[in-house]
Amino acid sequence: ALAMPGRAVLAVPARLRRRLLALAVMAGLLFALYMLVLRDVGLVAVDKVAVSGLTGKDAGRAATALEGAARESTTLHVDHAAIDDVAARFPTIESVEVEARFPKGMRLTVTEQRPAAMLVVGARRIPVAGDGSVLTGLPVKASLPEVKIKAGEVPSKQLTPGGTLEAVRVAGGAPAALTPTLQDVARRGAKGWVVQIEDGPLLIFGPAAEVAEKWAAATRVLADRDAAGADYIDLRIPGRPAAGGLGVQTMEPVAPAGSEDGATPALPGQNAGARPALPSQRGGATPPLPGQGAGATPPLPGQGSTSPSAPAEGQQP
C-alpha cells in the first residue's frame, strides 16, 4: 500500500510527464515576464490622476506632489511607498487611499488629520492634531479647546515631547462630539492636567496617562443624571471617577461600565454601603412619645408613668 503513489507516478507516460514539465516552466517564465516587464510598460502607465479630500492653503501643493508620485506607477504596479513618502511631507494628511483604474487611471482619496486643539500664541491661533502634528493652514470650522503656549514653542510640523504635547494628547483623546464643548486644557498644580467644559464641570485628569480610559469615564459620568450640576469630575483614577461640588452632596464614585457592583448609594450623613435606617431605627433607640424622656420605655395600658424624678402618691419625697 505504501508503494502505490510511486507506482501511480510511474504509470504516467514519459511523454505526458515531459509536457507537464514544459507547461510548468512556461508558466514560470510568463510570471517572471509579467513581474519584470509587463506590469511596468507604457500601456498601463498612469496618466490620469484624480485627487480628492484636500483642503487648506497647502491643498494645491499637496495635490501636485501626490499626482507626481502616482504617475511614477502603473495600474498593475502601484508604488504605495512613494505615495506615502509624499503624504508624510504634509502634516495635514493622515492617510491616502489608492485606487488603480485599468488601464491608465488612478484615484487618490486623502483623509486629513482631525484638529484636536488650538495652540494660542499671543494673537496667533494654530490648529494641532492629537498626535502633535501642527496643522498650519488647515481650515477649522468647529470650536476647539485652547492650549496657551509661549512664543517660539511652535515647530513647523510636529510638537516635541513636553508639556504642550501632553496637553494636546489629552485634548485629542476627547470624543468628537465633546470636542466643540471644551474650552481649554491647562496644568493646575496637584490636579495635573484639567479640561474645562463650557457651561459644565472641570475635568481633572492628573497626569497625561490612560487618556482613553479617563475620557471613557468622563463620558459615563456626564451621561449620569445624578451628576448634573457638578463643579468637577475627578478622573485621576479612571476606574472610580467621582463628581463633586453638587448642590446637595458629593456623588459617590461611579462604577465602571459593566460593573456588577450593586451597592445602594449612601444617603447624606450615612456611611457608604449601609442600608437606610427605618424611622424607628435611627440612632439605635425607640423614639420617645410626647412628654416622655428619651430612652424610656412607654407605659402599658392602665399603667402610670414611673419616672424616678416624681414621687409616688402618698410617699414622702
* C-alpha grid cell, residue 260: 456588577
**Same domain, yes or no, for 55 and 107?**
yes
pTM beyond 0.85, yes or no: no
The last residue of one of the domains, among 198, 213, 244, is 244
**Same domain, yes or no, for 167 and 233?**
yes
Asked whether residue 53 is assigned to any structural domain, the reply reads yes
* C-alpha grid cell, residue 218: 468622563
The last residue of one of the domains, among 190, 222, 244, is 244
Answer yes or no: is pLDDT of 3 > 70.
no
Asked whether residue 291 is assigned to any structural domain, the reply reads no
**Same domain, yes or no, for 122 and 102?**
no
Asked whether residue 64 is assigned to any structural domain, the reply reads yes
Cβ neighbours of residue 188 closer than 8 Å, sequence gap 6 or more: 194
Answer yes or no: is pLDDT of 28 > 80.
no
Task: State how far the Cα of 45 lies from the Cα of 76, in Å rounded to an integer.
Answer: 8
User: Which CATH number belongs to the domain containing residue 91 in this structure?
Assistant: 3.10.20.310
Residue that wins the pLDDT comparison between 95 and 16: 95
CA 173, 174, 176, 179 dihedral sign is negative
Tens digit of pLDDT for each residue in 90-107? 999 999 999 999 889 999
Task: State how far the Cα of 122 lies from the Cα of 127, in Å rounded to an integer.
Answer: 14
Asked whether residue 283 is assigned to any structural domain, the reply reads no
Number of helices (H) and strands (E), helices first, in the chain?
6, 11
Look at the chain and report how many structural domains it folds into. Answer: 2
Average pLDDT for the chain: 79
**Same domain, yes or no, for 164 and 87?**
no
Asked whether residue 255 is assigned to any structural domain, the reply reads no
Contact yes or no for 162/179 (Cβ under 8 A): no
In terms of DSSP bridges, do strands 146-148 and 115-121 run parallel, antiparallel, or are they unpaired?
A: parallel
pLDDT of 207 reads 97
**Same domain, yes or no, for 77 and 138?**
no
**Same domain, yes or no, for 125 and 148?**
yes
Task: State how far the Cα of 186 lies from the Cα of 144, in Å rounded to an integer.
Answer: 14
Tens digit of pLDDT for each residue in 245-283? 865 344 455 555 444 444 434 433 444 444 444 333 444
**Same domain, yes or no, for 89 and 128?**
no
* C-alpha grid cell, residue 25: 516552466
**Same domain, yes or no, for 95 and 170?**
no
**Same domain, yes or no, for 91 and 199?**
no
User: Which CATH number belongs to the domain containing residue 184 in this structure?
Assistant: 3.40.50
Full residue range of the structural domain in which residue 78 is found: 43-112
pLDDT of 183 reads 97
Q: What is the end-to-end Cα distance of the chain in Å, rounded?
A: 124
**Same domain, yes or no, for 218 and 125?**
yes
Asked whether residue 160 is assigned to any structural domain, the reply reads yes
pLDDT of 298 reads 47
What would the mean pLDDT of 232-240 be, rounded to a whole number?
Answer: 97
Task: State how far the Cα of 174 lies from the Cα of 193, in Å rounded to an integer.
Answer: 14
Asked whether residue 108 is assigned to any structural domain, the reply reads yes
Asked whether residue 73 is assigned to any structural domain, the reply reads yes
